[in-house]
């Protein structure tokens, strides 16, 4: 957690802010499709920062800010599966490929590569993202799958038909320029 905070605040330090953009309202949705029921949760309090001069990228998602349709699901998610008191956030620290090829008013596909930490477990990932420069902001979207077992998230055998072993994750952000 401390490393993520240091990286986050380094984006806000004085100096050249050219190319640095942030958000505190990024959106991450996860969706579990299983035989018995589908489960969806949304988090609109994701902090993210990008440096367009070198492609550095950081996402921090507070686990307790994932909101479920059913309160009991949210309680079980935080207490039993994600142990959010012990692991309060998920984060991604990495780079965007070909950051110099982000286009104005036209989407372009890039590769995000780096370290994804969920539930205290860090894995190297590489996923596709679509980025588009607008007049006043940069938008970004990505959709990928995460295996719960890869991040030591245990699903009780009796609930295996209720919770998918692979979760679809959708990220949607609008980065705004950092003001000097």
Confidence of residue 11 (pLDDT cuts 50, 70, 90): very low
Write out the residue range of the structural domain in which residue 170 sits.
2-8+21-177
Q: Which of 83-92, 104-113, 137-146, 168-177 has the lowest mean pLDDT?
A: 104-113
| pTM metric for this prediction | 0.87
CA distance linking residue 111 with residue 21, whole number of Å: 18
CB atoms within 10 A of CB 79: 11
Q: Report pLDDT for 18.
A: 64
**CATH code where residue 97 lies:** 2.40.128.110
**Number of separate domains in the chain:** 1
Asked if pLDDT for residue 65 goes beyond 70, the answer is: yes
Tens of pLDDT, residue by residue over 120-153, are 999 999 999 999 999 899 999 999 999 999 999 9
Question: Which of 132, 137, 126 shows the shortest CA–CA distance to 102?
Answer: 132
Mean pLDDT of 72-82: 91
Query: Residue 15 falls within a domain, yes or no?
Result: no
* Residue 174 scores a pLDDT above 90: yes
Are 40 and 75 in contact by the 8 Å Cβ rule? The answer is no
The pair phi, psi for residue 149, each rounded to 5°, is: -60, -30
Contacts of 173 (CB under 8 A, 6+ apart): 23, 26, 27, 46, 48, 139, 140, 141
Residue 16 lies in a domain: no
Mean pLDDT of all residues in 83-98: 96
Question: What would the two tokens of residue 44 be?
Answer: 């609109």
Residues pairing with 60 in the sheet: 47, 91
């Amino acid at each position: 957690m401390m490393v993520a905070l240091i990286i986050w605040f380094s984006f806000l330090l004085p100096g050249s802010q050219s190319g640095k953009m942030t958000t505190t309202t990024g959106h991450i949705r996860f969706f579990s499709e299983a035989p018995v029921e589908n489960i969806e949760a949304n988090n609109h309090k994701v902090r993210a920062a990008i440096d367009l001069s070198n492609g550095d990228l950081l996402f921090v998602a507070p686990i307790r800010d994932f909101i479920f349709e059913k309160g009991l699901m949210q309680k079980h998610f935080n207490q039993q599966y994600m142990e959010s008191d012990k692991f309060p956030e998920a984060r991604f620290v990495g780079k965007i490929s070909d950051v110099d090829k982000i286009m104005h008013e036209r989407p372009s596909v890039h590769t995000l590569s780096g370290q994804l930490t969920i539930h205290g477990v860090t894995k190297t990932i590489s996923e596709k993202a679509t980025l588009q420069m607008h007049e006043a902001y940069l938008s970004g979207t990505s959709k990928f799958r995460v295996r719960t077992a890869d991040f030591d998230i245990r699903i009780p055998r009796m609930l295996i038909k209720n919770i998918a072993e692979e979760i679809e994750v959708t990220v949607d952000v609008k980065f705004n320029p950092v003001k000097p």
